[in-house]
Amino acid sequence: MEEGVAPDRDCVEVSLFGPGYGECIVVHLGFGDWIVVDSCIQPDSGDPVALAYLQAIGVDSSRIALVAASHWDDDHIRGISEVFRRATNAQFVCSSAMASREFEAVLSQWRPKSTIPGGSGLDELDRVTDILAKRAADTKYPTPECARAGLVLWERQKPIPAEVRALSPSHAADLAAIAGLAGVRDSDRGERRRLPHIEGNHTSVVMSVRVGTASVLLGADLQVRADRNLGWYAVVDRTKNNTRHEAYKIPHHGSANADDNEIWDRLLIKEPLTMLTPFCRAGVLLPTCNDAERILARSMRSYLTAPATKKRYRTRDYVVQKTIDEIALESYAIPNGFGHVRLRKEPNGNNWEVCCFGTALSLEQFVRQHCRRRKAKK
């Protein structure tokens, strides 16, 4: 990794990594305490990016205090079992739906189908639970915990107070997620296929990270729901007015269904520093140009780990290429760029220092380079 310089001992650092498909956040809480939220794979090496980054800056994985799986979507969970296996002092955190009997039933039914190529997030969680079961007998390992709104997941009093608090999921969201799992379990007719997508965004674990004066809101993939017991409205309603955050990991890749004025007005300072990852799957591309412009209207200090663009898939064989173009209604190569947005703040500093590595760029630059060109083409 090019950015191989570790932060100062008392410096707060938030790193957001994202290829075209995937997301991982690594946070330095100061004084050698690290947390990892979600995981994705570094395209070049095939290693979990959190481990590759920490190794590159000379940090031992035993310094990871917390490994959190915000939810079970494939793009948030790849490689998390390996991160957790290597983080021998870390507590594992996930939503209570993942510890439910319904989850156990889905795992039982889909485990024999793990031979289907393509993998799924469930395989990762299967491996995580293997590790948890092995470690359960030994008291030296921290006990795993189910996140719920308001729960303090990690804290430190000295030398600088720090706290990681879960703002979601609400109890209602957990119940909705468990019902979703039961639906998947019942739909199984034994055919050997990959686990279908289980709607898990509403059970996402949103986290508030505070270290001294620095505060960051990690939005996971939580969406806005009409029911105020679910989604962002439940978070907003439970959070006190005086707890505003300076930096914000925008949820659900900047999509409109995860955005609401109440989030900006009640949970964030004016013109916060924001960052997000793109999403490209099954024809869906996020953020769209409209999303980018909507976010920029709220904050010009927004950064994206990789441009959200579809590139044509190219093969070496002309005949194969011609056939793909003729048969497929639409096709594109999975974006394999890789970017890193890094925010750093000194303990007494007022400003965050932002650095972009790899394919990362400012959202304004993305709009200038890609959206305006698209509009001009139209």
The Cα–Cα gap between 159 and 176 comes to: 41
CA 26 to chain centre: 10
Among 8, 32, 136, 257, binds another protein (CB under 8 A): 136
Please report how close the Cβ of residue 323 comes to another protein at its closest, in angstroms.
Answer: 5
Q: Is 129 helix (H, G, I), strand (E, B) or coil?
A: helix
Residue with Cβ nearer another protein (226 or 327): 327
Compose the 248-277 pattern: x for residues touching another protein by CB under 8 A, - for all others.
------------------------------
Is the dihedral angle over the CA atoms 121, 96, 17, 219 positive or is it negative?
positive
User: How many residues lie near another protein (CB under 8 A)?
Assistant: 54
Please report how close the Cβ of residue 130 comes to another protein at its closest, in angstroms.
Answer: 7
Element (H, E) at 245: strand 245-249
Residue 170: HSE in the Cβ half-sphere, 13 Å Cα cutoff: 20
Q: Which residues contact 124 (CB under 8 A, 6 or more apart)?
A: 39, 77, 78, 79, 80, 81
Cβ neighbours, 10 Å, residue 18: 30
Stretch that binds another protein, among 10-18, 233-241, 332-340, 363-371 (CB under 8 A): 332-340
Contacts to another protein from residues 192-211, by CB under 8 A: 192-197
Element (H, E) at 284: strand 284-286
Q: Does 143 bind another protein (CB under 8 A)?
A: yes
Structure tokens at 181: 């799992």
Q: Does 121 bind another protein (CB under 8 A)?
A: no
Q: Does 6 bind another protein (CB under 8 A)?
A: no
Residue that is written with structure tokens 């932060």 in the block: 7
Query: Residue 208's closest CA among 170, 249, 254?
Result: 249
Is 167 in contact with 179 (CB distance < 8 Å)?
Answer: no
Please report how close the Cβ of residue 283 comes to another protein at its closest, in angstroms.
Answer: 6
Stretch that binds another protein, among 58-66, 114-122, 241-249, 363-371 (CB under 8 A): 114-122
Contacts to another protein from residues 66-105, by CB under 8 A: 99, 104-105
Please report how close the Cβ of residue 10 comes to another protein at its closest, in angstroms.
Answer: 30
Contacts to another protein from residues 168-187, by CB under 8 A: none
Q: Does 334 bind another protein (CB under 8 A)?
A: yes
Maximum C-alpha span of the chain: 66
Structure tokens at 209: 């990270």
The Cα–Cα gap between 301 and 364 comes to: 8
Residue with Cβ nearer another protein (114 or 288): 114
Residue that is written with structure tokens 């965004």 in the block: 201
Among 111, 368, 374, 375, binds another protein (CB under 8 A): 111
Q: Does 337 bind another protein (CB under 8 A)?
A: no
Is 267 in contact with 236 (CB distance < 8 Å)?
Answer: yes
Cis, peptide link before residue 169, omega less than 30° from 0: yes
Among 62, 331, 351, 369, binds another protein (CB under 8 A): 331
Q: Does 52 bind another protein (CB under 8 A)?
A: no
Residue with Cβ nearer another protein (245 or 252): 252
How, if at all, do strands 268-276 and 245-249 pair?
Answer: parallel
Cβ neighbours, 10 Å, residue 133: 9
Please report how close the Cβ of residue 288 comes to another protein at its closest, in angstroms.
Answer: 17
Among 58, 118, 138, 158, binds another protein (CB under 8 A): 118
Q: Does 152 bind another protein (CB under 8 A)?
A: no
Q: Does 328 bind another protein (CB under 8 A)?
A: yes
Give contact residues for another protein (rule: CB under 8 A): 43, 46, 99, 104-105, 107-109, 111-113, 116-118, 129-130, 132-133, 136-137, 143-146, 148, 190-197, 281-283, 313, 315, 317, 319-320, 322-324, 326-334, 336
